[in-house]
Amino acid sequence: MTAALLVELLTEELPPKALRSLSGAFAETLARALRNDGFAPADAAVAAFATPRRLAVLIERVASRAPDTPQTMLGPAVSAGLDQNGAPTPALLGFARKQGVAVGELVRVQGAKGEQFAHRTVVAGGILDDALGRQVADALRKLPAPKIMRWGAGEAEFVRPAHGLVILHGERVVPGEVLGLESGRTTRGHRFLAAGEIAIRRAEDYERDLEDKGRVIASFERRRARIEALLREHAGGASVAADGALVDEVTALVEWPAVYDGHFAKAFLEVPQECLMLTMRQNQKYFPLIDGQGRLLNRFLLVSNMETPQPHHIIRGNERVLRARLADAKFFYDQDRRQRLEDRVPRLASVVYHHKLGSQLARVERLERLAGAIALKLGAEAGLAGRAARLAKADLLTGMVGEFPELQGVMGMHYARHDGEPEAVARAIEAHYRPRFAGDALPDDAIGDAVALADKLDTLAGIWGIGLQPTGDKDPFALRRAALGLLRILVEHVRPLDCVALLALARGGYGATRLAGDTVERLHDFILDRLRSYLREREFAPDEIEAVVGQRPNRMDLVLPRLEAVRAFRRLPEAESLAAANKRIRNILTKSPPPSGDRFDDRLLRESAERSLHEASEKVEAIARGHRERGEYAAALIALAALKDPVDAFFDKVLVNAPQAELRNNRLLLLMRLDGAMNEVADISKLAPA
């Protein structure tokens, strides 16, 4: 018999940030176990359910008994199983005895050893009732739970205490014990809106019964969609300041969502809206509302687990809690503005950046010099960049950032404006942390870029230089993020800066002996590895990436134009042949002794094919050089197409390793010049088939 299988575990409130992943992992692991043991077909539909107090899964077409499985056990080869008289040897007798059958019941099959004796049998399929309890327990044990706990006097362990277990196969309760709980068909609905326990008659009725009788929307996705729809409905013409993580978290906190409107005093809008929105979203899980001009309204939306026609007490209670939070934020804001950012800077001397690298004040002084130097290279005003760098860390000593560390930089911008600092300085203070995460915006101007680059370069040089490089998935100082941010600014803002020179400048800020001597070289390697990852995400092919990045570029702003040129080149009909020829040239140069001297002599060109190649390469090199100097990298590579026929003819008709030393030397010099000309933009040998 096949029927739908329902497994539900009732618990105390599960961790909201982990609920979605716990639910998906539970459903996937249990379904996989059932498929592997033959109880469910590979295409059986699987539905996962998750609410604050339950994990459940419904799997269709689960069999009560797995199908029997034919099994063939191979024994000795026929030549080893029978002696010269055709009688069974001890090896064959031992095999038959092990299988529990007579020699006459064995069959002959073709195996890896030729013709072999074998025993064929049928293994009876497993019984669902016998296997399911173990499978459910295994699936729960393998969940990516943040923490495990025990409860009561038993030995059961789970992420939260468990209080109920439902296991239904169709209409039948599958007997079993998991986490000390006996299986049944009774579940519970909403803590306040449902009356009593709910008996599930059939597994397929689970979701409908919970909704109709228990006022619980069991599906995480349906509950989430309902919350989003209610938020849009209540927002009216305003925009909801929501992100996916907050919607997920709120979905994990309610079983029957209702959305209500709340308000707060307009006086709180004097506080920067980033502070108010962070307070509402992070502390209270509320959804701020934004008007058409991007300004925060004194309205918010709250998601409640109680649907009632008289929500007055719910709304007022939440407004009262929020008022206290906003009052704290306003107090910090008012207190912080009593002291200028500039006056806070000397106190950074008492804040340790790293015990091997000194204080935050020492860091600020390095950033000030470095940002000014970078600004000069970008043609921006060094004084403004230096000023922004000097004030960039001062907000770490403010009450607001102490309460909300996520606002560092943002509060520095607002306090700088209050202090009368130039707008470019204020914006750069906020922007110097960008990009904070994948996909985040970059700084808006050259001064912001200069300070952001200085911050990332100083972090990379200092932390790497004292031996704290990332290892495996551990990167406590976020050096990978710093390297990616550095690359994004240089590449996406097309900043014509030498990355190695910037690293050397940053390392020099620490003095001659404080950092490892190979810091710059190893950091360059590290940044190139991050560049490869960044370019893969932009969907460049691995061989295209290696053709450019394998040349260890210093100018990151030229990487994308060169990659686009490589793409244009490889579309040429001559591209594959030229790439293969270039690879062949590399192999010849690698395996041959280095040519003596560097003076190529065209008088030693004896064969017409080598003279043709020399003339063609000189002409192409001049054309390509002109394109490169104008930044026309695609045209420079496309110009190489003219070399296809001369290169092919050269390899067909000319012996490079000629017996005469001077001819051999001259031909190697010709290939060296050709190799250099062909790889100025990118190493096209990387495009050759393996």
pLDDT digits (tens, 9 = 90+) for 648-664: 898 888 888 888 888 88
pLDDT band at 586, cuts 50/70/90? confident
Q: Is 166 helix (H, G, I), strand (E, B) or coil?
A: strand
Q: What's residue 9's pLDDT?
A: 98
What are the pLDDT digits (tens) for 3-18? Answer: 999 999 999 999 999 9
Contacts of 603 (CB under 8 A, 6+ apart): none
Q: Mind listing the pLDDT tens digit for each residue in 267-287?
A: 999 999 999 999 999 989 999
| pLDDT tops 80 at residue 196 | yes
Q: Which of 6, 433, 423 is nearest to 209 (CA)?
A: 6
Q: What are phi and psi of 152, to 5 degrees?
A: 60, -155
pLDDT tens column, 502-541: 999 999 999 866 788 899 999 999 999 999 999 999 999 9
395 or 588, which is more confident? 395
Question: How buried is residue 70: exposed, middle or buried, by Cβ count under 10 Å (0-12/13-18/19+)?
Answer: exposed
Query: What's the pLDDT at 582?
Result: 84
Region 586-602 average pLDDT: 81
pLDDT at 547 over 90: yes
Beta strands in 357-437 (DSSP E): 358-359
Kindly tell me if the per-residue pLDDT of 595 is higher than 90.
Answer: no
Q: What are phi and psi of 612, to 5 degrees?
A: -65, -40
**What pLDDT sits at residue 163?**
95
- pLDDT computed for residue 491 by the predictor: 97
The H or E element spanning position 73 is strand 69-77
CB burial string 638-668: b at 16+ within 10 A, e below = bbbbbbbebbbbbbeebebeeeeeebbbbbb
- pLDDT category at 397 given cuts 50, 70, 90 is very high
Could you tell me which of 534, 557, 541 has the C-alpha nearest to residue 483? 534
How many Cα atoms occupy the beta-carbon half-sphere of 97 within 13 Å? 7
**pLDDT score of 438:** 86
d(CA 428, CA 374): 14
Query: What is the number of other CB atoms lying within 10 angstroms of the CB of residue 359?
Result: 17
Could you say which DSSP state residue 406 is in? G
| Contact partners, residue 651, CB within 8 Å, separation at least 6 | 581, 584
Could you tell me what percent of the chain has a pLDDT over 70?
99
Q: In sequence order, what DSSP letters do the residues of 109-120 get, joined into one string?
A: EEETTEEEEEEE
Q: CA 273, CA 288: separation in Å to the nearest integer?
A: 10
| Domains in the chain with CATH codes | 2-66+127-214 (3.30.70), 69-122 (no CATH), 220-310 (no CATH), 342-539 (1.10.3210), 570-687 (1.10.730.10)
Residue 559: pLDDT above 90? yes
Does the bond joining 435 to the residue before it have cis omega, within 30 degrees of 0? yes
pLDDT at 300 over 90: yes
pTM value is: 0.80
Distance CA 683, CA 411 (A): 47
- Asked if residues 118 and 75 have their Cβ atoms less than 8 Å apart, the reply is yes
Token digits of residue 59: 């799997």
